[in-house]
Structures are given as C-alpha cells and as structure tokens.
Amino acid sequence: MSKYDQLSAHYQTIHHFNHAQAMLGWDAAANMPAGGNDARSNAMAELSVHVHRLSTQPQLEDWFGQAEQEALTGEQQASLREMKRQWQQATVVPEELVQAQSMAGSKCEHAWRTQRQENDWAGFEKNWKEVVALSREEAQIRGDALGVTPYDAMLDKFEPGTSSASLDVLFSEVKLWLPELIEKALAKQRSETIIMPTGRFSTASQKALGLDVMKLLQFDFTRGRLDESVHPFCGGVPSDVRITTRYDEEDFVQALMGIVHETGHARYEQGLPNAFAGLPVGEARSMGIHESQSLFFEMQIGRSQPFISHLSRLSAEAFNAHQDPVFAEENLQKIYTRVEKGFIRVDADELTYPAHVILRYEIERDLINGVIEHTDVPALWDEKMQASLGLSTKDNDKNGCMQDIHWTDGAFGYFPSYTLGAMYAAQYKATMTNTVDFDAAIQSGDLSPIFQWLSDNIWSQASLHTTDELVKRATGETLNAAHFKKHLEGRYL
C-alpha cells in the first residue's frame, strides 16, 4: 500500500468520527432536551479529542514526507495538499487546548441561548471571557506557525489564502459606496406602497411551503432533511445533509428565505464529488465559497422576479389565501427587496447586510490581535452601529454584540465569509448569463441549467483548486467586487 493510500485511509477514518460529531451537533441544536447538555458536551469534547489524536499521530509526518516522493496524479497531488493542510492545522494546537475550547464553547453557547433573551451581558461576559482567552491562545499558536498575525491565522481556517490586509482594502472600498447606495434605495422606496403580512401563518403550513420550495430547488430528500432550531444552519455530511430554520407564526417571510439560503448550502454539500467522499479534497473549498452557494440561492435566484413569481403562487396555496394581496407577485417582490436599517444581521436585507459583516470583522480582528479587550465590545458595537446604520445598541446587547452564535464557541474569522460569498455569487451570475438563460430557466420551473453550471464549475471541483484558482476557472477572473456593486445598483436603484 502506498503512503498516499495509507494517508487516504487514515483521513477516511477521521471523516467517520467527524460524521458522528456532526450528527451529535445537529441533534443538540434540533432535538436534545436542555437537561442533556452537560453529558452531550462531555461526549462531544471526548470525540473532539479523539479526532485531534487521530489527526496528530506521530507517524503522519513521515507518511507525508514519503507520499510527496511518490508518483501521483494531479488530483492525488491536490488531495495530498489538502490532507497536509488539515494535518498542519491540527498538529499546531495542543490537545489540552482543543478539549478546553470544546468545553468552554459548549458551556458559553448553551448559556447564551437564555442570556441573550434576557439581555444578560454580565452573565454572558463571564463565560465568553474564557472563550476569547482560549481563542487568542489558539490564534497566537497558529499565527506563530504560519508567520502571520493571530487574526490572519484564524481567517486561514475558514478562508485559506485570505488576509486581513486584503479584506481591509476590499471592505474600505465597500464602505465608500455602500452608505450612499442604502440612502438612495431608502429614498426610492419611500414612495412605494407595500402590504406586510398580518395574521397567523401556522408552522405546519410554513414547513409544507418550505418543502415545496426545496423541491423546486432540487434538494435530494433521500440524502437530507429539514428541521427546526434556534439558529438556522446547515450541518450533517454530504450523504446526509441536515438543514434547519426557525418559524414565526406572525411572519412567514424570514423562515421561507432562510430555507432557500440553507438549501444553497445543502445543494453544494450534496453536489460534492463522490470520488473524493471522506477526503479533505472532497470537502467544500472555503466558507466564503460555501456562503457563495447559499447566497446565490437566496439573493441571485430567490429574490429574482421569476422566482418570486413561484413563491407568490406556492405561498398563496400554502396559506389558502389566493385573493390576499400580500401574496401578489409585485407585493412579494417589494417585501423581499425591502431595505431597512435594522439591528439583526440574520434579518438584514441584502443591501445593509455588508455593513453588519464589516462591523463584526473590524471588532473580531482587533479582539483576536489584542488591540481591544472583550469588555470593550458592547461600546464599540454601539459606536460602529451608529456610524454605519445610525442605530444605537446602548444597553441593548441582545440585539447588539450578543445576537450571533459564532463568537459563543470561538468561531472568530468566519464573518467575512458572508460578504465574500455575496460577492462571489454576483460574479458567478454575471458569468453564467453568458451561456445560461437565467430568468427563463427559473420561469420554466426547471432550474437544471443553472444547477448544471454550478455543478460543473463549483460543486464538482470541491477543494481541487485554491479559492482564487476555482473562481478564476469559473469566471475568468479572481474576486472582483465590481460585479457585486453592479448587481446591487441594478436591483435597488
């Protein structure tokens, strides 16, 4: 057996344990009773340590050295590169730190669910302090190993090849044109009449509607399912993808588009190549590319006029409201392209969303690099919210710095992925329309031509290429934010 084959078998084993871990995580969010949390946290921490031990076995260094001397195909070389990348990421962090982070993250996240509702910053801060301290320790270790800043080392986990220097340039450009674009869109919408949903939209009807929309988006129900959780997410594994949403019986709008978004994540997972199943090279390229799929589904497909036409028909049927003007195509289009300055990122519209992301990026960058302390975050959040969206979060931390799940378990470096994803999605659409009649495909109800393009250019490529190579092969250029700006101007002005 070649060393490459031995490494492949070893990483398949790690994948099986990660599969179990993913299902335990999904269950904790979607099904587990509150009393099960302590035991579940212990079980998941134990699994984390086991995976970490498998990922850091001493013989792996020799195996990588020998495998690099073997005659490998181009795809095998890419596979070896991705295995080695994961190995380097794992070996640099000591086991005790992995276990401590798992425990601190579980504890902080579980308590956060209640603390957020109660606006209890003081209670949250006690748990979060530990999460931040451990994340900084991890970032310092990774940064030293990679020869980059602590925050850049955390970015590398989610966005290989991206640096805060490049993000600073990208986001400072966006900050130059975004505020004016938001004000123009708000001014344009002031003269429009819009009918907002009122009444009760039962969870059962909303779920049935969501499942119909998932069918339209060609989700494979033999390899995945839809459930409910506090914070919508896509989890599981490519052969069994679990997506969740949350329902509000007074408003069907958010949950429905949330399902479209998570279905984008899920279709990417379901579209990853079987040939590399269980191997690092068979995984999604980066979180930015993952978000580009969910945001392609939500923003490029989901809020397009022909798709809103389907939503108009399906939602009127689901709620038995054929005469209700709320569900008229034109009205739904206004609802789904409504611009509003709000506190909550997950409820933000497409236009104000980047402001939410940039704020979080600037805070977490400085927090992990030690420029600010965790106790500075509420005041900084308030200051940046006032500067970017004119809203104050003073004494309102549940709708400020406590609103996201990401920081509760130390996922620092993730937030930029959302705006990178939106930019990539706009770039794919600009390229795709050269060969695919985008609107006609959606109108017909058979979106196969669109999904075929995504499959050929993104899904089937998994992690065979770097992010820049992947995007350049698909669109002819690396990330170009001009496509995003043009898309927003076209839709909102």
Order of strands across the sheet that contains 224-228: 224-228, 240-245, 234-237
**What 3 state SS string does 225-285 have?**
EEEECCCCCEEEECCEEEEEECCECCECHHHHHHHHHHHHHHHHHHHCCHHHCCCHHHCCC
In order of start, what are the domains of the chain with their CATH numbers? 3-158 (no CATH), 160-493 (1.10.1370.30)
The answer to whether residue 292 scores a pLDDT higher than 90 is yes
Give the pLDDT confidence of 261-284 residue by residue, as tens digits.
Answer: 999 999 999 999 999 999 999 999
Give the pLDDT confidence of 418-440 residue by residue, as tens digits.
Answer: 999 999 999 999 999 999 999 99
Quote the pTM value. 0.94
State how far the Cα of 172 lies from the Cα of 176, in Å rounded to an integer: 6
Give the pLDDT confidence of 374-400 residue by residue, as tens digits.
Answer: 999 999 999 999 999 999 999 999 999
Nearest C-alpha neighbor of 331 from the set 197, 487, 210: 197
Give the pLDDT confidence of 45-85 residue by residue, as tens digits.
Answer: 999 989 999 999 999 999 999 999 999 999 999 999 999 99
Alpha helices by DSSP H, 272-413: 287-295, 305-318, 329-336, 353-368, 377-389
Give the confidence band of 176 by pLDDT, cuts at 50, 70, 90: very high
Question: CB–CB of 98/52 below 8 Å?
Answer: yes
- Ramachandran angles phi, psi of 226, nearest 5°: -115, 130
Instruction: Give the pLDDT score at 230.
Output: 84
Residue 224's SS3 state is strand
Give the pLDDT confidence of 191-249 residue by residue, as tens digits.
Answer: 999 999 999 999 999 999 999 999 999 999 999 999 999 888 999 999 999 999 999 99
**In the predicted model, what is the mean pLDDT of residues 141-156?**
97
CA-CA-CA-CA dihedral for 86, 92, 93, 95, to nearest 10: 90
Give the confidence band of 325 by pLDDT, cuts at 50, 70, 90: very high
The answer to whether residue 346 scores a pLDDT higher than 90 is no
Give the pLDDT confidence of 79-136 residue by residue, as tens digits.
Answer: 999 999 999 999 999 989 988 999 999 999 999 999 999 999 999 999 999 999 999 9
Instruction: Give the pLDDT score at 2.
Output: 98
Active site residues per annotation: 262
State the pairing for strand pair 234-237/224-228: unpaired
Instruction: Give the pLDDT score at 436.
Output: 98
**In the predicted model, what is the mean pLDDT of residues 14-29?**
97
- Rounded to 5, what percent of the chain is helix, strand, coil? 70, 5, 25
Instruction: Give the pLDDT score at 11.
Output: 98
Q: Which residues contact 113 (CB under 8 A, 6 or more apart)?
A: 230
Q: What percent of the chain has pLDDT over 70?
A: 100
